[in-house]
Structure 1
Amino acid sequence: MNEQTIATRNERRGQAIPIAKANARYYVAQMVTKETHLSRSPLKSKDRDVDGVAVGVLPRFEVPVVNVTVVEGTTAILPCSVNNLGRHKVVWMDQWATLLAYKDNPNCIVVWTDQWATTLAYKDKRIIDDERYSIQRPFESNWNLHIEGVKHDDQGQFICQVNTKPVQKQTVVLNVLVPPRILGSNLASKYVVKEGMSVSLICNVTGIPAATVTWYKLPTDIGSKKERIGFSGEILKIHNVTRYCSGKYECVADNGVPPPYKRELEVAIEFPPEIRLPNKRIGQVLKKETILDCIVTAYPQAVSVWKFKGRELSKSSKHNVEVFNEGDHKITLSLRIKDIGKEDYGLYTCVASNSMGRTSKRMELYGKKPL
């Protein structure tokens, strides 16, 4: 890259004063000065320039080299503070000697450029379309570069440079942290798998620094704590799943830059119905009523019925069938038998079936003598 210059009128020579040569991947804030001559004699009023700065006293930086670390989306403030500036000029440039900004006053000039050699501002006015860049001067010696809504691509090395002989430079390293995010909002949030198979839950994450993904199984009971499971990583693989693996899982991505990112995933395990009878035999006297309960667990939920002597029972003056959802893929199929007669005694069968299979169990209703 050719040497860039800022054309300024030298009162004595009228020559252009060079800013800096391109230096691979650097942001540069550069101070351009008029040629000065060192003097070892005692300083008198005539030995000072119009700003009261002693002739022959070179500018110097007030603060050492610094690293600036900010979170993406916030404002980055890159400090550059110079003493004894006088009629000298300060230039901010990027790592390719690109002009970022150039702010003028009667006695000094500040120029800022970005990493792509784009002029951002001249004097107090912004030149490029990017409104994020500006020069702020909270104190007389400050020439701070502000970048609002900083992006990760903005990070790199910036150099505040004073074009003395030799050139004085101060490097400011901008690091941009990016909070964790989980990618793939269009990916499945519910996984349906048959019992005995394997399932892989996926949470692809981004973030700078790299995020760690931790997995939890969420409780079904209110007030219980979630349980950490498996190893850290973007994929949680569960082998040989059972119905007890069903439920909600949570992946948490964290890289130390708040806030952590969370995502819930649901796992549904398909399995054939299971029947549990609280009682295998139940007795009741004539003319009374009784209730037979059949507890069915299945996913997908089963078609469940009561049968008596090969006939499916439904709501009538003699029978009433109700279904109670117990949660966790469980229902209670309740059969109420009214005004029991001798013909009602015998074996009742609870039958449940779904796409995974079919099962049944029997309960006996027998007669009892009245007390």
Structure 2
Amino acid sequence: MEIIPSNGEIFLGKEQSFICKSSVEATMKWLSGDDDEEIEDELGRYKKELIDETTLTLQVTASKVEPDRIIKCQAETESGETTNTEIKIRIIQKPTFVKDVSVTKVFNADSDAKLPCAVEGIPTPQVTWFRNDMPVPLLPGHLSATRDGTLTISKIQLSDAGMYYCQAYIRERNEIEHKNVTVTVNAAPMVTFEEPFPKITSKSNASFTCSVTGHPKPEIVWKKGEEVVSDDGQKYILSSNGLQLSITDLAKDDEGNYTCYASNSLGQQSTTLTLEVIDAPRGVGAGVVAGIILLIILGTLLAVDLTCYRTRRRGFLMFLSTSILGRPAPRVKLEDDLKKGTSDKSHVVNISGIDA
């Protein structure tokens, strides 16, 4: 004798029919495993049906959560021989969210945010929170979770905003359900500059970007001193989001304080940069070139003078040093003159290009 199916699990709120099959004709009945009393039809719980003298069915409705229980099928033949078989009835439940948590949660920055995840299941599901498909790391003092599945974000910040989902998991049946929660964080603007004291060469172009955070999206205004800077398409150009200010053909009168203002419904903040325009480096002038040429000439004369000093012609070369600066420039050539028949060698200076 057997009961089909052999698995007695029934999902909460569902019905399951069990068939008791006997190999011989017999008187058949269903019994409660606790006291062996015969099970009678009970609305919303049991319904019996005798198919023939070898087949008896029992429809079980899991209308509420109940402890596991045993039911038996008994078959008694005409000879009085009794045979029993039994099955354990167990009511189970898939992970079920008590409330629809697929909503948007809005919090103000620096408040404590609580994301509930009320879920039921038999057995009790394991609850895990995810963000960007990764489990949310529980950090003492910032991120914590309670047994009822609530995720708490202490002093929530803009960086905590995004899509979260609560996952309910029953390991023994590998059943998974999840619900999404969109977290929005409202915060007053924060404004910063990467370089608050730029120094830029005149006649060049410059761009300044202010970094702004905040929600709702802040409105951006630029000012030079107390005057609002508007995009004129020539001198001042603003990016489409207003965060970048470009100034063309910088001049000294462009120096000063430039302030980026950001405001939304939660507040306003600004930060200022101080622009300094420095002169472009000048090219080498004609006077400098003339001075360099004069130094080269004097250096050459000094070298010649030293050579003549070694050959004891210092006086003559001193005269030459004061004479060869005429116009046009003279040509000087120092030659050795070896006297015939002697070992004496004298130095001869040939000068050309000087008018007599």
Q: TM-score, normalised by structure 2?
A: 0.62
Please name the residue that 2:224 is paired with. 308
- 1:38-187 equivalences under 5 Å are 61=1, 68-69=8-9, 78=18, 80-83=20-23, 85=24, 87-91=25-29, 96-98=39-41, 100-104=48-52, 108-114=53-59, 157-164=70-77, 165=80, 168-185=83-100, 187=101
Q: Distance in 2 between matches of 1:296 and 1:335?
A: 14
Tell me the alpha carbon deviations over residues 132-175 of structure 1, each in whole angstroms, 9 at most, x when there is no partner.
xxxxxxxxxxxxxxxxxx98789864432214547544332222
Q: Distance in 1 between matches of 2:17 and 2:74?
A: 17
C-alpha change, 1:115 and 1:268, in structure 2 (3 Å) is closer
1:265 to 152, 175, 181: 181
DSSP 3-state at the match of 2:230: coil
Please name the residue that 1:255 is paired with. 170
- Do 1:203 and 1:235's aligned partners in 2 also have CA atoms closer than 8 Å? yes
Q: Distance in 2 between matches of 1:355 and 1:205?
A: 36
1:365 to 275, 282, 296: 275
- Deviation at 1:188? 6.1
Larger relative contact order (CA 8 Å, sep ≥ 6): 1
Is 2:234 the counterpart of 1:320?
no
C-alpha change, 1:255 and 1:226, in structure 2 (3 Å) is closer
- Deviation at 1:255? 2.1
C-alpha change, 1:88 and 1:259, in structure 2 (3 Å) is closer
Please name the residue that 1:280 is paired with. 196
- Do 1:251 and 1:263's aligned partners in 2 also have CA atoms closer than 8 Å? yes
C-alpha change, 1:236 and 1:100, in structure 2 (3 Å) is same
Q: CA RMSD in A?
A: 3.5
- Deviation at 1:71? 5.8
DSSP 3-state at the match of 1:228: coil
- Do 1:91 and 1:109's aligned partners in 2 also have CA atoms closer than 8 Å? no
- Do 2:220 and 2:243's aligned partners in 1 also have CA atoms closer than 8 Å? yes
Is 2:284 the counterpart of 1:339?
no
Please name the residue that 1:228 is paired with. 137
- Do 2:107 and 2:113's aligned partners in 1 also have CA atoms closer than 8 Å? yes
- Do 1:252 and 1:262's aligned partners in 2 also have CA atoms closer than 8 Å? yes
Q: What code does the residue aligned with 1:82 have? A: S
- Deviation at 1:306? 1.0
Is 2:289 the counterpart of 1:289?
no
Q: Distance in 2 between matches of 1:179 and 1:74?
A: 12
Q: What code does the residue aligned with 2:178 have? A: K
Q: Distance in 2 between matches of 1:258 and 1:236?
A: 23
Larger-gyration structure (1/2): 2
DSSP 3-state at the match of 1:343: helix
- Deviation at 1:80? 3.7
C-alpha change, 1:62 and 1:259, in structure 2 (3 Å) is closer
Count of aligned pairs between the two proteins:
259
DSSP 3-state at the match of 1:305: strand
Q: Distance in 1 between matches of 2:7 and 2:88?
A: 5
Please name the residue that 1:10 is paired with. none
Is 2:215 the counterpart of 1:299?
yes
Task: List alignment gaps of at least 5 residues for structure 2.
Answer: 33-37, 42-46, 139-143, 282-356
Q: Distance in 2 between matches of 1:203 and 1:278?
A: 42
Q: TM-score, normalised by structure 1?
A: 0.59
2:261 to 326, 344, 351: 351
Identity of aligned residues (%): 21
- Do 1:72 and 1:176's aligned partners in 2 also have CA atoms closer than 8 Å? yes
